[in-house]
Amino acid sequence: MFAFYLATLASIVMAAQPSATSNSTSSGGSSQYQNNATQQYLNMLNKSLGHNYLWSLLAVVALLLAWVTVARINAHLRHLASMGGDGSLRYYSTTSPVMSLVKSNIVYAPILFYRRARELKFSRHVNFGSIPSRFQAIFLFLVIAANVFACTWNIPWSDAQLEVLPILRNRTGTLSVVNLIPIMVMASVKNPLIWLLDISYDTFNLMHRWFGRVAVLQAIVHTLCWLIGKVQSKGWGAVKISMQSPFIYSGLIATIGFTVMLLQSPKVFRSLSYEFFLHFHFVLALMVMVFLWRHLQLNSLPQKNLLLGAIIIWGASRGFRLATLLYRSLGRGGSTATVEPLPAGAVKITITTPRPWTYRPGQSLYLTLPALGLWTAHPFSVAWSGLETEDHLTRSGSVRSEYNEKNPIVRARLAEAEEFSRDHTVSLIVKKHTGLTQKLWHHARNTDSAVSLGALIEGPYGNERSMASYGTVILFASGVGITHQLGYVRDLVHGYSQGTVATRRITLVWVIPSTECLDWISSWMHEILGMEGRREVLTILLYVTRAGLSQSIRSPSDMVRMSRGRPNVEELIGLEAARKVGCIGVSVCAGGGLADEVRRVSRVMLDRGINLDFFEEGFGW
């Protein structure tokens, strides 16, 4: 898949290279105010700018790849060295001042002060989303600045308006099409750059939206330049006549589709109805590409090669998702989802797939339940894979053992069934909000027992991040954010018992509104607490924020402690940092307030010279 992307991008860039023999009127468009030599120069310049812009984006990808490659090599060497004992762990507990400065003030820093993940809300239903990090903001600023420069560079602003407008029109139109390339790459949930650059889909989704806004504004300027020039030179009557031209009205429809996409993209509209947004967005994108292709094809404009590249990337992404859905959902009776009601407005979904599921911590899937709505594909974090208790089918003691020994055929079939259940089962915890999640909750509550539904699934998606090289791992979660962290806990505890990870201390911090939430993961937590080596490495801290004064809050043991209120994040991370047990990996999947506090404290520790990596998992797309 990655090779396909590279080959496609390289061919697109080569197709965008300037050609002195091009007779494009596109990039376009002849003007009575420009002689042939000027038009040829401007056409070459437009294509050259688009070509250089794409190469610049590829250069940024190369730089990020170099950074990530060095970080991965360092993590691998740290992993190997830390297996040697406490001395190696202490060595990796501190880092260089330069690296601390870069992480604290650029990579992990919010734009200003401490707010990053906490969303800007004016009411329960008016939500404007979260704020980019400082590194994201710097990148977006450079992208916007590069586009403004490319749109305005070498334009003779001192000339008459009717001479400037065609140049600006052609420039913005070309760059709007060029921007469709990164837009389509970043829209793909199976984007190979997610793994290659160690960047989350949440971040790529943010970039997708901002690149889209730039492209839409360029398309609007492109259309306005044509409209103003036409009105000033020939009047509104000429505009009406021009609308009858397929070349003109197809371009206008594409711009209108672009504009509607821009207006419906803010979080305030996405949060009102995610399903409607998703499918309306898809229809608009399809409409824009069809009419934009017609607009470029009618005059044989060279920008159609760029659009073709974007369409190929988009089509390949959709085709891959469809193939994944069919592979995961069909065969051996298909995929089924068992939905069970849980306390505190949640449901548990256990999915059985027809084929083995290779799950890694932190991954997610898309789930569609046709019985509740065919067009309701939703992303959910995978909380667990395999049987809830892998040995629960072998607990019946000597009677079953004797039965198995006497009947090897039955024994083989039982073993096959156990293996099938382990490899083919994944579980989710879903909290009620709106749309599909609300339908799920009502469906589960009305049945008051487990019910099986046909399911369509895609995945697994997401970054396969390993925490095995960290001597100390601190995992923060609030509410259903625990689904992201459970896989890491099980993976690290198992690795510790097998001697395959550098981790010597794991702290899981879970903030919940009530003790009812403990029922969400009780069976999985019992399995973790029964794992070999758990007592030596794992500490679980539970914080109940809305516990009544009359409600008993009791800690089961020293390794599983329950408290009222909210955690003192700085104290928790500070205590672990003081132990100097290797490099610290801090992960958070929580609401904005807790996520921002964990980010703030992580930056404080970096300023103190502590070797620490911070990871924030998006709490919602």
| Structural domains in the chain plus CATH codes | 2-21+36-77+133-318 (no CATH), 329-461 (2.40.30.10), 472-616 (3.40.50.80)
Q: Could you tell me which residues come within 8 angstroms of residue 236 by beta carbon, excluding any fewer than 6 positions away?
A: none
Helix axis angle, 398-406 relative to 408-424, nearest 10°? 120
Q: Which residue in this structure is represented by tokens 């949930």?
A: 189
What pLDDT is recorded for position 186? 94
What pLDDT is recorded for position 389? 44
Distance CA(220)–CA(232), nearest Å, equals: 18
What pLDDT is recorded for position 122? 75
- Whether pLDDT at 20 is above 60: no
- Whether pLDDT at 87 is above 70: yes
Mean pLDDT of 82-86: 79
What pLDDT is recorded for position 387? 52
- Whether pLDDT at 21 is above 50: no
Query: Pick the residue with more confidence: 101 or 1?
Result: 101
Give the long-range contacts of residues 228-231, CB within 8 A, separation 24 or more: 228/161, 228/165, 229/162, 229/165, 229/166, 229/169
What pLDDT is recorded for position 25? 39
What pLDDT is recorded for position 30? 42
- Whether pLDDT at 32 is above 70: no
Q: Find the largest Cα–Cα distance for the chain.
A: 97
Mean pLDDT of 405-424: 47
Query: Pick the residue with more confidence: 594 or 619?
Result: 594
First to last CA, the chain: 24
Identify how many contiguous H helices and E strands the chain contains and give both numbers. Answer: 22, 13
Mean pLDDT of 280-304: 94
| pLDDT, tens digit (0-9, with 9 covering 90-100), for 222-277 | 999 999 999 988 899 998 999 999 999 999 999 999 999 999 888 888 877 777 88
Contact between 351 and 335 under an 8 Å Cβ cutoff? The reply is: yes
What pLDDT is recorded for position 6? 46
Contact between 334 and 454 under an 8 Å Cβ cutoff? The reply is: yes
Among the residue ranges 82-86, 131-135, 445-449, 461-465, the one predicted with the least confidence is 445-449
Mean pLDDT of 48-74: 93
Using a pLDDT cut of 70, give the percent of the chain over it. Answer: 86
What pLDDT is recorded for position 508? 98
- Whether pLDDT at 149 is above 80: yes
| pLDDT, tens digit (0-9, with 9 covering 90-100), for 155-195 | 888 777 778 898 899 999 999 999 999 999 999 888 889 98
What pLDDT is recorded for position 1? 47
| pLDDT, tens digit (0-9, with 9 covering 90-100), for 463-492 | 778 999 999 999 999 999 999 999 999 999
Q: What 3-state DSSP class applies to 397?
A: coil
| pLDDT, tens digit (0-9, with 9 covering 90-100), for 343-394 | 988 999 999 999 888 888 989 999 988 888 777 788 899 999 875 444 433 3
Distance CA(564)–CA(388), nearest Å, equals: 29
Contact between 575 and 605 under an 8 Å Cβ cutoff? The reply is: no
Which residue from 378, 147, 177 is spatially nearest to 278, judged by alpha carbons? 378
Using a pLDDT cut of 90, give the percent of the chain over it. Answer: 54
Copy the structure tokens of residue 167.
């140049």
- Whether pLDDT at 435 is above 80: no
DSSP 8-state assignment for residue 30? -
Distance CA(27)–CA(334), nearest Å, equals: 50
pLDDT mean across residues, the chain: 84
